[in-house]
Amino acid sequence: MIAVVRFPGSLDHDSAIRAVQAVGGQATYAWHADTELPAGTRAVVLPGGFSYGDHLRPGAIASRSPIMAPVRRHADAGGLVLGICNGFQVLCEAGLLPGVLRTNQSTSFVCRQVELEVVDRHTPFTRELGGSLSIPIKNHDGAWFGDPATTRIVLSYGAENPLGAVASAAGVANAAGNVLGLMPHPEEATDPLLGSTDGLGLFAALVRA
Amino acid sequence: MTRVVVTVMPRDGVLDPQGQAVQGALGRLGFAGIHDVRLGRRIELELEGPDPLGDARRMCEQLLANPLIEDFTVALEG
Amino acid sequence: MTRVVVTVMPRDGVLDPQGQAVQGALGRLGFAGIHDVRLGRRIELELEGPDPLGDARRMCEQLLANPLIEDFTVALEG
Amino acid sequence: MSAPLHRQLGLSDEEFAAIPGLIGRPPTDPELVMFSLMWSEHCSYKHSRSLLRRFPTTGPHVLQGPGENAGAVDVGDGWAIALKVESHNHPSAVEPFEGAATGVGGIVRDILALGARPIALLDSLRFGTLDSPRSRHLFTRAVAGIGHYGNCIGVPTVGGEVVFDDRYEDSCLVNAMCVGLVPADGMLRAAAFGEGNLLVLIGNRTGRDGIGGASVLASAELSADDDSKRPSVQVSDPFTERKLIDCCLELAGGGLLLALQDLGAAGLTSAASEMAAKGGVGLEIDLDRVHLREEGMAAAEILVSESQERMLGLVDPANLDAVLAMCARWELDANVIGTVTGTGNFTARHHGEIVVDIPASALTDDAPSYAVPRDPAPAPVALDLDAVPVPGDLANAWLALLGRPNIASKRWIYQQYDHLVGANTVRRPGGDAAVIRIPGMSRALAVTTDCAERHCELDPRGGGRASVFEAARNIACTGGLPYAASDCLNFANPEKGSTGWRLAEAIEGMSEALEAISVPVVSGNVSLYNESPERAIYPTPVIGMVGLLEDAAASVGHAYGAEGDLVVLLGGGLPRLDASEWLGTASGSPARPDLGREAALVSAMVTAARRGVVTSAHDVSDGGIAVTLAESALAGGIGCTVTLPGGRRADEVLFGESGERIVVTCRPEALAALRESAGDVPVAVIGAVGGDTVEVSVDGMSVRLELERARDVYETTLTKAIA
Ligand SMILES: Nc1ncnc2c1ncn2[C@@H]1O[C@H](COP(=O)(O)OP(=O)(O)O)[C@@H](O)[C@H]1O
Ligand SMILES: [Mg+2]
């Protein structure tokens, strides 16, 4: 069972659940105010959105929610946690991933398709992915800021760097590789009708776990 | 060169959704006795010229603050 | 009740794209002599309790500021 | 000495004099304020109501026509689509970011009031030209506000349009459209019923936002003293709106709501009186139970506050605990503020005293209605082509046209909008219509907003038709069958000049066209008085249209596909420069669209798309066929070589407009099937896809556009214009 955490202001929880189902998995919601993950949780998704309206700093308020304690325990025990966009921001604010997501260089929201390079294929998420992925980004605060020397950068935008991230980072993992955050939205690339199916691999990794 | 500090705060009576969200979050973190939280901006300007405060005030009127919903103050840092 | 003012500013050395954008916009509006613009937050708290400054500091540590990129100060208003 | 209160509030002496007859005594001050707002143009449509009856509003799939918060049509498999367009013009002129943002919030709550999940947003925008600093400011801030709101609430903004013209310099237009999805048998209405049922106010606290907004902002001409109107600006709170959406949908899904109504213009007054009047019941409201943001608000202020992100639900007392628990789960304030009574009266108490007690229908059904003067405008003068110089270098002219803000790519806008959220966007912005799949179904919706404002200025009947047919062609190009429409009639002061006639004529033209394609109008909105002492806007009747695709996977895009595809012109429209973007002014006498031929073209296009015989489709609109060809080539990254029928001036052939034309591509072997799909509609093979230029020959002369140069101009124009 994959737990998709729902905060007030989460937006992409339904899409995340559909993406898990599209690769044959089962998913259910975890509620932000709960103090335990749903029984039988094998992996956790923190979906995109504007939890708490992105007020103060994106992800900051959600990262202090009760549900984050069991998410942290799950991660510490080696369980997989995938944070997408706002979920990535939450993981950074919670200290489960290094760095922080800052306002885009353009200072505006950017919604468009991007090409990603898989630069670290040794995480449970990326082992079976192709070398490059076409997945959309859509965010206002998606420029990763941190220390590239000490961070596992897993996905990069290549040379283009549309948001102004340090080291062109699009997705980073913790040292163990079981917690991954990325700004692009794999749940928006899960069907040929949507223009790409390159997002399915990340959900398949969760289901395999 | 002069450093001018501009503060821009939501006007009294104007909805402050950010402040509300932060107040709620602080309460959930266990802080008690919070009666109000208001969120605004602080802008630090390094200016050159004879009238830095006047310049800052004009910048507020033209760009830095939205007079419909925000009040601003300018001050020399010190 | 005490009013505490928290200011949260980007750390020195951390690039501030919003500040840069504002600086650019001010320049386009015709303002000259702007050497630097830094954008931060001002949070006004109305607190009750014996140690409002200590409380505010703890709020900053736990939520209001991100130490990776931001510095904060707390002060009693006055 | 100041004017009497009723005049300050915008009521005429006659209107004021009619009130005692309706309520049996002179009104109290709060009552007078309520009348002034409810009888304003914005709430009562007093100058347009009689004209709106002309619209076709029925059809086999119409579940809800005009009269509710939004209209709805059945799309099969037990689902219905709700749709509505609304204006937020005047608030956006005062404060573009918050004005546009709250405009989006308002239209979303209209959809939500039906119990529908909002699934798509569109924005229809008009500003002065971008060399005006004020217009640049209004445009960029309005776009930011729309994006901010839509992005935060997770409803994809998938389409829209923008036109820059001097005539909108003093009165910009910000219209927003929302489309929602609701189980056909689970649709909510706004009528109150059942004595003893409870009114629950859910959402943001009530403050002094927008007080006087409805009358001051929306129903009077903006003049030099705009600044004095500023304090009533509303601030948007999309985070609370998102929680309202989630909470109301869970309440509706759980059968916990008997009725639902949003609070928009005139706030509680309008919401409650409409609920009461629709249900033929009374409501008693205790203003002390309204959760306030500010202390010391007067009864009238609470009654008319336009604080955003609030909904009013009708709840069976047996379900109250469950409703309040759900609101608490979503961290939303919720209070029982009133009860349904059998009196038919709108009654309000404040500090224990009755401050309002009037028949609810006096505010709504008894609002005045006026016939507008119908003085025709002078007939348009035929275009003197000889006075229009033929450009010496047609290739450069073509490039320049692609670089006009009205033609150039709108990527700068829609890149700031989350047009994907929900993972249902099949055709993204940038083409003719966006296509969104209906979650859980193989069907999809095509959505667009359109308006032929210059044509409307010259011939409002023809322009009204042209607006509808442009929308229909945009829908049809994706393979969608035009299915339902909403409209927003943006006009100048109807009491002056020919505006009233233009309004009536535009409605007539739109109605004729809608009848020709069997599309009902199920909702709409009117925004009048869009003029300043210096200038009035063009008549701008915006059409929002929804089309239905049986198979989401069969949608058609506007990008050229494969080398060797044939380029085919469908339809027999003749290119004319009258009212064209190339001229850039409303001059000439554009042809009135032919009802039968336009309808046949739309139907041919739908048939061809459904049979899968076309590889791309793009209608000829602003900028003429030269722009159509260039856009499809740019989108596909591949050029074409085309020969166009001549016998007219080359600039007319290239840049001339007129509806009734669609450029499609097909595999050569599919041509026969395309001809067959087209029936009597003219089909002309004009060229083939290939290469990295768009090359057009007319009467032996050839003009070439290099794709890379064209792309640079087309893609960077807007960004440069606002920098
Ligand atoms: N204000 C806007 N908001 C969102 N999308 C827009 C806007 N303006 C234009 N677009 C996108 O650009 C496309 C092309 O616009 P336009 O040239 O007006 O199309 P058409 O002539 O087919 O109506 C639209 O269909 C839409 O997808
Ligand atoms: Mg079109």
User: What dotted CATH number matches A2-208?
Assistant: 3.40.50.880
What's the confidence (pLDDT) of residue D219? Answer: 41
Q: Is the dihedral of CA D33, D38, D43, D44 positive or negative?
A: negative
Q: How far apart are CA D10 and CA A101, in angstroms?
A: 50
Counting from 1 in the atom list of ligand 1, the atom nearest the Cα of D618 is: 22
Same domain, yes or no: D363 and D387: no
How deeply is D41 buried, as exposed, middle or buried, from its count of CB atoms within 10 A (0-12, 13-18, 19+)? buried
Chain B CB contacts of A53 under 8 Å are 17-18, 21
The predicted pLDDT at position A104 comes to 95
Indicate whether D253 and D396 sit together in one domain: no
Pair D584, D689 in one domain? yes
CATH code (residue D219): 3.90.650.10
Would you say residue D84 lies in a domain? no
Count of the separate structural domains present in chain D: 2
- Asked if the structure places residue D604 within a domain, the reply is yes
A140 touches chain C (CB under 8 A): no
Nearest chain A residue to B40 by CA: give it.
A56
Q: Is the same domain home to D256 and D398?
A: no
Quote the CA–CA distance of D160 and D266 in Å, as a whole number: 28
Question: pLDDT under 70 in chain D at which residues?
Answer: 1-2, 212-232
- Distance CA(A77)–CA(B5), nearest Å, equals 48
- The whole-angstrom distance between B66's CA and the closest CA on chain D is 9
For position D217, what pLDDT does the model report? 37
- The pTM assigned to this predicted structure is 0.95
What's the rounded Cα separation, in Å, for the pair A11 and A50?
7
D387 and D363, same domain (yes or no): no
Same domain, D255 and D401: no
D206 domain residue, yes or no? yes
Q: How far away, in angstroms, is D592 Cα from ligand 2 center? A: 18
A contact chains, 3+ CB pairs < 8 A: B, C, D
Residue of D714, D620, D678, D176 whose CA lies nearest to D432: D620
Which active-site residues of A does the annotation give? 85, 185, 187
Question: Tens digit of pLDDT for each residue in A105-162?
Answer: 999 999 999 999 999 999 999 999 988 999 999 999 999 999 999 999 999 998 899 9
- pLDDT at position D212, please? 62
The answer to whether position D166 is within a domain reads no
- Over residues B5-53, the pLDDT tens digits come to 999 999 888 889 999 999 999 999 999 999 999 999 999 999 999 999 9
Q: How far apart are CA A128 and CA D65, in angstroms?
A: 53
D304 and D398 fall within a common domain? no
Q: Residue C72 maps to which CATH number?
A: 3.30.1280.10
The reply to whether D2 falls in a domain is: yes
Task: State how far the Cα of A32 lies from the Cα of A43, in Å rounded to an integer.
Answer: 16
- Name the closest residue on chain D to residue B66, using Cα atoms: D95
Task: Decide if C68 and A146 are in contact by the 8 Å CB cutoff.
Answer: yes
Picking from D233, D239, D331, the nearest residue to B69 by CB comes out as: D233
Determine if ligand 1 sits within 6 Å of the CB of residue D86.
no
- Quote the domain boundaries for residue B64: 2-76
What is the reported pLDDT for B77? 83
pLDDT at A184: 98
Same domain, yes or no, for D573 and D628?
yes
Element (H, E) at D35: helix D29-38
D390 and D310, same structural domain?
A: no
Tell me: do D266 and D400 sit in the same domain: no
Q: CA dihedral defined by D388, D391, D392, D398, rounded to 10 degrees?
A: 180
| Mean confidence (pLDDT) of chain D | 94
Full residue range of the structural domain in which residue D704 is found = 383-408+556-723
Cβ under 8 Å to B: C residues 15-54: 19, 22, 25-26, 29, 31-49
In order of A121, D203, D338, D693, the CA distances from D293 in angstroms are 53, 12, 19, 62
Position D225 in a domain: yes
Cβ neighbour number for residue D515 with a 10 Å cutoff: 15
**Ligand 1 centroid to D160 CA: how many Å?**
5
Q: Does residue D606 share a domain with residue D646? A: yes
Q: Whose Cα sits closest to atom 3 in ligand 1?
A: D160
**ipTM value for the complex:** 0.94
Q: Which atom of ligand 1 is nearest to the CA of D471?
A: 23
In a domain, D372, yes or no: no
Give me the pLDDT at residue D295, please: 85
Reply yes or no on whether the pLDDT at C77 is more than 90: no
The total number of structural domains that make up chain B: 1
**Partners of A30 in the β-ladder:** A5
pLDDT tens sequence across D539-560: 999 999 999 999 999 999 999 9
The whole-angstrom separation of Cα C76 and Cα D260 is: 46
DSSP A179: E
Q: Which SS3 state, helix, strand or coil, does residue D259 take?
A: strand
Give contacts of C32 with chain B, Cβ < 8 Å: 49
